[in-house]
């Protein structure tokens, strides 16, 4: 539509979600701004009206102070699903009059049409030209008559001049001037003069189409080339060439140039009216809005057109087959019972700090891992109930009393005199009565002092009479140091080295049958065992790898994998059994055969023990939200 200063503007636009493309209402009523020659005009009021779901209209009046040739754009701003964006919904060039007004000024044709009237003028003009001399005198028609052959009709020079002056005056009175005679020459076009419908179709505004994607995905790696095209049309839809090759500038929301991503700021000609540029997106580019501004010169007037695109992360918008596989795995493995165990992870931060403190005190990853394994093993024991805070407090109350009963320093702790005095014979344990007669009889009998099991006949001999015997025996006690020295002497005298057969039998029991032969050193074969995640193939550190003899009766070595998921062993030639365990969130492998030196490396894949998804909620702002019941 053509507009002039003072015209009433009307237009429409829609709003949609970026992630789904579905037309929805904006979060609030959008706003509209009139842009004159590239500058926002805040004095113009544009009214935005809600016409239905995601459909809006814009109305307003173009100021009378605008002039023909001004480029006017209507820009709307809307926020959809918390994302704010701008868009130019229409751009036009003001004219001094609209096509209907041009027709009114021409007036109604006197004949069948304006074309018929013009054809009549052409016919009359041709007739006039046949009556005019071919040559002009001083730019004027020579109207002097030659009557010298008529006696009495000869004209003087003055008479010739007077007649010519009269003719010029008559023609001038009819509106015939030299300029208008030149116009008559222009009508000799060898065809029909333009009709009324053809005159009405003349429009000064160039039609433009820009192919710029509204959303551009940033690649995870490498680059992505986006073609951008500009198509120009004349008033009746034919491709039209501008005065010069259009140009393109790209900026972000802050106005920072992004032209370095273009192959050229001057668009390349593809065909008449069609131009193209290439915009390269790199993996390291910032996620931001991009404004593509085209500049076109047509008929000496410069027109500016703009498109906006949003650069987004491809990983955030693309839902891949691998993502679907992971969701299905969660749906299978995350049970309600397993999900409830996540509540016990609330102390993870404090636990991490405690482990860090322990490691600083000299603990290693292997020692902490061993403690962890023992705790998990104890918790998983059938029938075991872990103590709560009250139970631990009761235990601490009792153990605190030990400090009052112990003397000495580690490792030579001993009960003090008071503690010994409170032993059972002294009323310890809370008892207040002495031994009964039967109890004392039993004690004497067990000591072999006197009496019978049921009731001793007398209390003699007693401990008092035995004491003298004990003293007399003291001199006969064997000296411990002397006894130890004698034992060593006897052992050394009777000690003999094992025979070759003894060693062969022992090694066969540990490693299987083999042959004696030269070797660089014991366990000269370096064997590397690797533990990985079955799904991701990532290395698994801190896994416990155990190597046993072929019979599985003797553990030969046990190590934990390093950060690369590897444990290295030095083994002799022979057959072994290997097992992998110690990772609660992964499966275990038991007694896998290993033959050395046939295999100097092996890889064990552990399956992750993932929880099951209880429910998947795709509602809310995010289409990928997972909610565990």
Report pLDDT digits (tens) over 265-311: 999 999 999 999 999 999 999 999 999 999 999 889 999 999 999 99
| Pairwise CA distance, residues 559 & 526, whole Å | 14
Which tokens go with 454?
């049921």
CA 569 from chain center: how many Å?
42
pLDDT (mean) for 315-341: 76
| Pairwise CA distance, residues 50 & 27, whole Å | 12
CATH number attached to the domain at 207-317? 2.60.40.1930
How far apart, in Å, are the Cα atoms of 605 and each of 199, 537, 567, 611? 82, 8, 14, 19
Q: Is the pTM of this model over 0.75?
A: no
Helix (H) or strand (E) holding 622: none
Q: Kindly report, residue by residue over 132-184, the tens digit of the pLDDT.
A: 766 667 667 666 655 555 556 677 888 889 998 999 888 888 888 888 877 77
CA 502 from chain center: how many Å?
67
| Pairwise CA distance, residues 268 & 291, whole Å | 19
Does residue 272 sit in helix, strand or coil?
coil
Closest by alpha carbon to 215, among 126, 85, 110?
85
Helix (H) or strand (E) holding 77: strand 71-80
Does residue 266 sit in helix, strand or coil?
strand
Helix (H) or strand (E) holding 567: strand 566-571
Give the pLDDT score at 245: 95
Helix (H) or strand (E) holding 218: strand 215-218
Give the pLDDT score at 609: 81
Q: Kindly report, residue by residue over 407-466, the tens digit of the pLDDT.
A: 766 666 677 766 665 665 544 444 555 677 777 777 777 676 665 555 555 555 554 454
Does residue 210 sit in helix, strand or coil?
strand
CB 56 within 8 A of CB 50: yes
| Pairwise CA distance, residues 493 & 355, whole Å | 53
Closest by alpha carbon to 279, among 225, 229, 231, 230?
225
Q: Kindly report, residue by residue over 486-495, the tens digit of the pLDDT.
A: 655 655 555 5
Class of domain 8-95: mainly beta
Give the pLDDT score at 419: 66
DSSP label at residue 185: H
Closest by alpha carbon to 26, among 99, 80, 71?
80
| Pairwise CA distance, residues 614 & 334, whole Å | 6
**Cis before residue 188, ω within 30 degrees of 0?**
no
- Sign for the CA dihedral angle at 209, 211, 212, 215 comes to positive
CATH superfamily of the domain spanning 522-606: Immunoglobulins (2.60.40.10)
């Amino acid at each position: 539509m053509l507009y002039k200063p003072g015209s009433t503007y009307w237009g429409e636009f829609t709003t949609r979600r970026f992630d789904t493309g579905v037309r929805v209402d904006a979060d609030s009523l959008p706003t509209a701004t009139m842009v004159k020659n590239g500058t926002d005009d805040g004095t113009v009021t544009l009214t935005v009206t809600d016409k239905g779901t995601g459909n809006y209209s814009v109305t307003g009046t173009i100021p009378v102070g605008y002039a023909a040739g001004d480029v006017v754009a209507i820009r709307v701003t809307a926020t959809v699903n918390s994302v704010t964006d701008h868009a130019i919904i229409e751009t036009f060039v003001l004219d001094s009059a609209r096509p209907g007004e041009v027709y009114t000024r021409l007036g109604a044709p006197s004949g069948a049409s304006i074309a018929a009237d013009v054809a009549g003028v052409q016919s009359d003009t041709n007739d006039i030209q046949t009556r005019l001399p071919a040559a002009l005198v001083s730019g004027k028609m020579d109207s002097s008559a030659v009557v010298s052959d008529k006696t009495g009709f000869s004209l003087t020079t003055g008479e010739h001049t007077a007649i010519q002056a009269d003719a010029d005056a008559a023609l001038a009175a009819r509106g015939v001037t030299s300029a208008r005679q030149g116009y008559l020459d222009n009508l000799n076009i060898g065809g029909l003069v333009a009709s009324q419908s053809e005159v009405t179709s003349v429009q000064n505004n160039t039609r433009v189409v820009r192919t710029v994607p509204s959303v551009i995905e940033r690649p995870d790696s490498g680059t992505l080339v986006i073609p951008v095209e500009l198509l120009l049309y004349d008033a009746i839809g034919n491709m039209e060439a501008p005065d010069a090759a259009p140009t393109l500038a790209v900026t972000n929301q802050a106005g920072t140039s992004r032209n370095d991503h273009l192959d050229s700021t001057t668009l390349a000609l593809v065909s008449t009216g069609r131009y193209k540029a290439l915009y390269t997106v790199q993996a390291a580019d910032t996620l931001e809005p991009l404004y593509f501004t085209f500049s076109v010169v047509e008929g000496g007037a410069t027109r500016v057109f703009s498109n906006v695109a949003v650069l987004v992360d491809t990983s955030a918008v693309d839902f891949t087959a691998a993502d679907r596989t992971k969701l299905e795995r969660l749906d299978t493995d995350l049970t309600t019972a397993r999900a409830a165990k996540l509540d016990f992870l609330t102390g993870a931060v404090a636990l991490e700090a405690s482990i860090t403190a322990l490691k600083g005190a000299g603990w290693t990853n292997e020692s902490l891992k061993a403690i962890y394994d023992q705790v998990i093993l104890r918790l998983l024991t059938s029938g075991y109930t872990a103590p709560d805070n009250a139970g631990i407090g009761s235990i601490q109350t009792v153990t605190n009393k030990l400090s009052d009963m112990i003397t000495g320093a580690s490792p030579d702790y001993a009960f003090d005199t008071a503690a010994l005095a409170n032993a059972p014979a002294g009323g310890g344990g809370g008892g207040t009565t002495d031994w009964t007669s039967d109890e004392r009889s039993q004690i004497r009998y067990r000591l072999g002092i006197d009496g019978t099991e049921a009731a001793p006949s007398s209390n003699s001999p007693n401990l008092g009479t035995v004491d003298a015997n004990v003293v007399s025996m003291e001199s006969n006690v064997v000296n411990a140091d002397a006894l130890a020295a004698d034992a060593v002497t006897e052992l050394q005298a009777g000690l003999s080295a094992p025979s070759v057969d003894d060693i062969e039998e022992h090694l066969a029991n540990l490693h299987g049958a083999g042959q004696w032969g030269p070797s660089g050193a014991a366990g000269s074969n370096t064997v590397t065992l690797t533990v990985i995640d079955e799904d991701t193939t990532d290395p698994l550190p801190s896994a416990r790898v155990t190597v046993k003899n072929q019979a599985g009766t003797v553990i030969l070595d046990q190590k934990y994998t390093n950060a690369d998921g590897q444990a290295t062993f030095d083994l002799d030639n022979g057959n072994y059994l290997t097992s992998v365990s110690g990772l609660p969130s992964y499966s275990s492998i038991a007694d896998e055969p290993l033959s050395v030196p046939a295999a100097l490396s092996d890889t064990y894949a552990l399956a992750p023990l993932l929880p099951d998804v209880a429910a998947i909620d795709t509602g809310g702002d995010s289409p990928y939200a997972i909610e565990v019941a």
